[in-house]
Amino acid sequence: EQRYIWLSLTTNRCEFCHSKDSSAQIYWVFRVRCCTRCLVEKTISQQKLLKEGKISKTIMSCLPYIHPCGYRLYWHADILKAQQEFDNLAPKEIASWVLKKHQIAYKITHDAKIREHAYNHQQYQNGVNIGHQIDHDNCTRRAGMMLKELGQELLCDTTNLQKSSTYREWEKVFDPHWEEIMWEKWRVAMKKECIKTNNLKKGLNIKDKKYLIFGRINVMSSQQGSLGRKSFATAPSSSRNTMRDRGSTSRGGSGRKPVRYRA
């Protein structure tokens, strides 16, 4: 309780880097106040954990998380602590440990929702309308985490990509309601920019190239998706021109000819 009171009364200062950053927010689930950069450094995404395969889904299901724009993030220290506890359990103790962790995670999440709602209501009464800012911040958090993972994939620094013209062009059309296929298209655009900026010898893989040309890619579940008119219209102009020049196709039922989208 004292921790929650301290978070409510502190100023907009990140408790890790101590910078007065406008992006410093309270993350009630993790009980911290930090900026977006420190949040990205101290969290890890569910996609990253599943890709590495080092943490079981059982452990992930027992921990609280946040999900900016549907991108589930866990506090990295919580993951390490839970993994250490799980490894030291006897087989007969696993069921009771999982049940206890589920109860704790539910209590933390439920309590965080109540406190976040009360805090936002207080801010609104003080004349601060943070609705639009929350949506933009969620997009920025997801983008920051995806850039971090892109840097780990390409073994290069991606921190300066947020200052690039490509990133700023996409940032103008950030939408918290984007489908996964739009986020994947954004990732490919950033990957292309990163390769160009860092003069990397490696290029886009076949899947990425197909996506840039045809607007098609396997999204998370390995099922092919096609870029619809609505998502196509919300992409930056440079991306739309690329698709328009090469031709974007969408397949319907069997035997139907590809249909070319028009601007």
Average pLDDT, the chain: 78
Whole-prediction pTM: 0.74
User: Residue 6: what pLDDT?
Assistant: 64
pLDDT, tens digit (0-9, with 9 covering 90-100), for 6-47: 666 666 788 888 887 767 888 989 988 888 999 999 999 999
User: Residue 235: what pLDDT?
Assistant: 57
Calculate mean pLDDT across residues 143-167: 90
Quickly state the pLDDT bin for 231 (edges 50, 70, 90).
very low
pLDDT, tens digit (0-9, with 9 covering 90-100), for 55-103: 889 999 999 999 999 999 999 999 999 999 999 999 999 999 999 999 9
HEC string for the chain:
CHHHHHHHHCCCCCCCCCCCCCCCEEECCCCEEECHHHHHHHEEEHHHHHHHCCCCHHHHCCCCCECHHHCCEEEHHHHHHHHHHHHCCCHHHHHHHHHHHHHHHHHHHHHHHHHHHHHHHHHHHCCCCCHHHHHHHHHHHHHHHHHHHHHHHHCCCCHHHHHCHHHHHHHCCCCCCCCHHHHHHHHHHHHHHHHHHCCCCCCCCHHHHHHHHHCEEEECCCEEEECCHHHHHHCCHHHHHHHHHHCCEECCCCCCCCEECCC
Quickly state the pLDDT bin for 247 (edges 50, 70, 90).
very low
Residue 233 has pLDDT above 60, yes or no: no
User: Residue 149: what pLDDT?
Assistant: 93
Domain ranges in the chain? Answer: 2-132, 156-260
Quickly state the pLDDT bin for 159 (edges 50, 70, 90).
confident
